[in-house]
Structure 1
Amino acid sequence: MSHDADVVLITGCSTGFGKELAEAALSSGLRVIATARRPESMTSLSEKGAKTMKLDVTASPEELRQFASDAISIFGRVDYLINNAGFLQGGAVEENSHEENLAQLNTNFFGVINLTNAFLPDWRARKSGTIVNISSQGSMICVAGAGIYCAGKAALDAISDTWARELASFNIRCVSIQPGSFRTAVAESANTKIAAKKIEGYDSAHEWIDGFNKASGTQPGDPAVAAKKIIELISKKGELPMRLPIGDDAYENAKAFYEGRLKEIEAWKGYSTGMGFVDK
């Protein structure tokens, strides 16, 4: 590992994508700062050469600014921020309590904004930096049974697009990665929470949750392969896509989503157009 190598900071490295991304980054020669709420869960990454730090992305903006300062001081800079930490809140939208909704968005959306904002002053001064937000194909397919999760990921896609535009003049890039179904620990209890309240009749939502849990450990995507692709993508200098579906299912679902939206727009064009003032 070169002392001149770029530095990547990754959130949520206890398991799944975060851990795989850290290992892929180390293998590619990047210097890695791996973070998680429980540092003891990252022993294997530490042994492979990663620096580890405790991080709760729902901490206050002030605490996150201090964290960013501490992180930058380790190697003198951070070049890539991969916002991966998150969990899945399951349940029909009506079943989720206000507190459950807030917890979901505080981690998966506001945590990303606050942590990223903590690094931006340094990046703007350096005119360099790359934001990588781990979203989900759920932001497009919006499944019954995970509506709040999908809404948070859709918001993450939107903020990523905005950052890509706002920060371009500072030479700061941003990409939203939309994984499909990968064999990670997301369905395990620590990463998935189900609404405490259950309302009879939300059959499609409940069926999806049951199917999601039963599919755990049999998902088609290999997260190690995806992690290598992501590290390869962001390591390239120059333009990044605003959004990147990753996984065969995500690619096909994204294609169907946009084709379906275009077809729908054309079908209802008569209700969308012809709204201008008519000169008398």
Structure 2
Amino acid sequence: MPSEDQVILITGCSTGLGRSLAEESLARGLRVIATARRLSAIEDLRDKGARVFTLDVTDKPDALKSFADEAINAFGQVDILVNNAGWLLGGAIEETTPEEIQSQFNTNFFSVINVTNAFMPHFRSRRTGTIVNISSQGSYIAVSGAGIYCASKAALDCLTETWSKELAPFNIRAVSVILGAFRTSVASSGTKASTNTIEGYDLAHNSHKIFRERSGHELGDPTKAAQKIIELVTLKTERSLPVRFALGEDAVHLSRKHLEKRIAELDEWKSFGANTNIDGIKYEQADW
């Protein structure tokens, strides 16, 4: 399908990567549905040719189903869904309250399930579609001071990988974009600190403090990130999409470093972790 015929829907378009994705998609001739919690924040995208909608991704499933029907009617189809809306909860894990943890997962994880499921009947009926979930290198490197955020992104990665398997028979693709540090609003307005402070969590506190201080000085250019993502999902190739796509020089380096460390650890302890079968039963390697 020519890229100019495709319809892309992006959540969280008021600032940062979401806005860059919307603008890059428009520049490439895609038909764009841009969403945000406040319509006033994306009215200028309407002037550039996008259809704009108010969307709170944490709404109830029934409300999201109604939104999906309305969004699909805008152009008669949706081909690419980008789950970009999210925020970062800072603080040591012990410092975060159950309510803060639930709020973090509601936006970064549960909303992705609910929003995507609202569009799933449409994708399945057309036997085509691409789901792009915006994750973070934190899902690999587990940053002290952002443990709940990292956990929500790790869960998102696992969800995406499972979708890539479950939805393949319907010709629906899923990719998790493992973002490095880009100059967006995440480190400033997109971050909330836990309400509690416990003395002694110096590493967690310093990590969060440094993260906030580096806002506006990150390595990555969100416009270039948007270009890469749109190129990836509109690429005409027989190759499958990567299930987990590291984006940004820091993400590529740190993700590989993390995986190498995990493999080395597995090899170091493999003999200790084996030899647990019931006597007489041999393990037969399975490909999941």
Structure 1 counterpart SS, 2:223 = helix
Equivalenced residues, count = 278
- Indicate whether 1:211 and 2:200 are aligned: no
Q: Which residue of 2 aligns with 1:255?
A: 256
Structure 1 counterpart SS, 2:42 = helix
Q: Which residue of 2 aligns with 1:57?
A: 57
Structure 1 counterpart SS, 2:209 = helix
Residue 4 of structure 1 deviates from its aligned partner by 6.2
Distance (whole Å) between structure 2 residues aligned to residue 137 and residue 4 of structure 1: 31
CA displacement 1:183-204 (0-9 Å, x = unmatched)? 1111223x11000000000000
Residue 274 of structure 1 deviates from its aligned partner by 1.5
Residue 272 of structure 1 deviates from its aligned partner by 1.3
Residues 47 and 105 (structure 1 numbering): CA distance in 2 closer, same or farther, change over 3 Å? same
The percent of aligned pairs where both chains have the same amino acid is 53
- Indicate whether 1:102 and 2:102 are aligned: yes
TM-score (norm: length of structure 2): 0.94
Q: Which residue of 2 aligns with 1:124?
A: 124
Structure 1: state its 5+ residue gaps: none
Query: What pairs up with 1:1-280 in 2 under 5 angstroms?
Result: 5-189=5-189, 191-237=190-236, 238=238, 239-279=240-280
Distance (whole Å) between structure 2 residues aligned to residue 144 and residue 226 of structure 1: 25
Structure 2 counterpart SS, 1:245 = strand
CA displacement 1:84-124 (0-9 Å, x = unmatched)? 00000001001000000010000000000000000001111
Structure 2 counterpart SS, 1:264 = helix
Q: Check the 8 A contact 2:144/2:207 in 1, yes or no.
A: yes
Structure 1 counterpart SS, 2:5 = coil
Structure 2 counterpart SS, 1:244 = strand
TM-score (norm: length of structure 1): 0.97
Structure 2 counterpart SS, 1:274 = coil
User: In terms of mean alpha carbon deviation, does 257-266 or 44-53 score higher?
Assistant: 44-53
Residue 46 of structure 1 deviates from its aligned partner by 1.5
Residue 3 of structure 1 deviates from its aligned partner by 11
Amino acid at match of 1:234: V
Structure 2: state its 5+ residue gaps: 281-288
